Amino acid sequence: MGDYRALAQELGGSVKGKRVLVRSDLNVPLDGSRITDEGRIRASVATIKELAEAGARVVVTAHLGRPKGAPEDRYSLRPVAARLGELLGSEVAFATDTVGESAKAVVADLADGQVALLENVRFNPGETSKDDAERGAFADQLAELADAFVSDGFGVVHRKQASVYDVAQRLPHAMGALVATEIEVLRRLTEDPERPYVVVLGGSKVSDKLGVIDNLLGKADKLLIGGGMVFTFLKAQGHEVGKSLLEDDQLDVCRTYLRQAEESGVQILLPTDIVVDTEFPSGDRDPQPSVVAASEIPADTLGLDIGPESAAAFAVALADARTVFWNGPMGVFETDAFADGTRAVAKALTEVAGLSVVGGGDSAAAVRTLGFDEAAFGHISTGGGASLEYLEGKELPGITVLED
């Protein structure tokens, strides 16, 4: 539940009849107009519903994909409005622009307790502009549509953008229930976590996750590494990695982390076996994976998943954990043949007797597409970049702006 008491007070006692602008994160993957993973929509429902039930006229703003500051059909939020309405159990009015004639008309038509969704906020260049004045001018237009602002798009709170940051400076504001939950969980991962504390990292790029490794090396007891980033670590240990994903410019950093971990008594676990194939994507042919020792990856192959021995070892390392943070799939889980490592880690997390947190857009999608029950995890974060930046110890502008 969100805490909107202070906000209600600022509005004269209640949100009833007030236009409340809610920044949600509805950035879901689409295949045409089909939503392939609706996790973020589901996570956004609670706050919207709570405000609507309190009688607010709820105006939701969100982005989808990475349009370049102009409308593009394939990034329209229209399919999302329909699905949001189904999940809310009441129709969601859709504005075909964000702050223009359509938005104004749709908002003016809202009755108490009704919900509207504005078209993709990133169709407007002011949203992501680096120029404070341009962003501010757009935030002015957003603010005109509402009496108050609720920040609930956790996936974007690390962005200094008009609908996240500037609009909060222009309206009475509050933190939404989703953002509050996310922050509380992340706080538990950084302040005095229950031990043993195990961090599992995977995914495609080491350079994305360096800051997290840096910050968590001093806090975690064990660090398990898989996914595409593992090959830079294996190479740093002197192994050949064939055609696997490799970031040559990060080799020294990986060596430093391996040494630091040893010095500070943090156990870094790298896979001992790897599932490889001769090419990826495999095109028309079926994948022909084989399992090789991590120290003996053939030159003409690339690693696409951690092997069964490593998956078992990771599960053992997780068995007695009291706190787990996992970010980044262990392999190219989107292809069945390379999903076993990710499946094994996900299963191990469901068995953790303590706080288990899954962070990262692809990791969250992985546990859902692999058929796990979301309730079996302590928390599935909706924000990849935001949770990583929090764990790196960085300030999140979208949170700071709410605290004044």
Beta-bridged to residue 269, according to DSSP, are 224
Q: Which of 56, 64, 175, 304 binds ligand ADP (CB under 6 A)?
A: 304
Catalytic site residue 40?
yes
Nearer of residues 47 and 363 to ligand ADP, judged by Cβ: 363
Q: Encoding tokens for residue 112?
A: 């108490």
Catalytic site residue 17?
no
The interface partner of residue 328, options being ligand ADP, Mg ion, none and the CB cut-off 5 to 8 Å by kind, is ligand ADP
Catalytic residue selected from 205, 255, 322, 347: 205
Q: Which of 172, 271, 328, 383 binds ligand ADP (CB under 6 A)?
A: 328
| Site map (CB under 5 A) of Mg ion, residues 357-386, x = contact | ----xx------------------------
Nearer of residues 25 and 50 to ligand ADP, judged by Cβ: 25
The number of residues making up the chain comes to 404
Q: Is 116 in a helix, a strand, or coil?
A: strand
What number of chain residues touch ligand ADP (CB under 6 A)?
21
- Residue 83: is it exposed, middle or buried by C-beta count within 10 angstroms (0-12/13-18/19+)? middle
328 part of the interface to Mg ion, by CB under 5 A: no
The interface partner of residue 116, options being Mg ion, ligand ADP, none and the CB cut-off 5 to 8 Å by kind, is none
Q: Which of 39, 384, 397, 398 binds ligand ADP (CB under 6 A)?
A: 384
Q: Which of 176, 329, 383, 397 binds ligand ADP (CB under 6 A)?
A: 329
Q: Which of 245, 311, 321, 348 binds ligand ADP (CB under 6 A)?
A: 245
For 373, list phi and psi in degrees, rounded to 5: -80, 120
193 part of the interface to Mg ion, by CB under 5 A: no
Alpha carbons within 13 angstroms on the beta-carbon side of residue 180 total 12
Q: Which residue has the tokens 């954990």?
A: 321
Piece of the chain touching ligand ADP by CB under 6 A; list 174-182, 188-196, 201-209, 284-292:
201-209
Residue 214: CB partners within 8 Å, gap ≥ 6?
A: 257, 392
Which ranges of 55-174 would DSSP assign to H, the alpha helix? 78-88, 101-109, 125-128, 132-144
Catalytic site residue 219?
no
Beta-bridged to residue 19, according to DSSP, are 57
CA 42 to chain CA centroid, Å, is 14
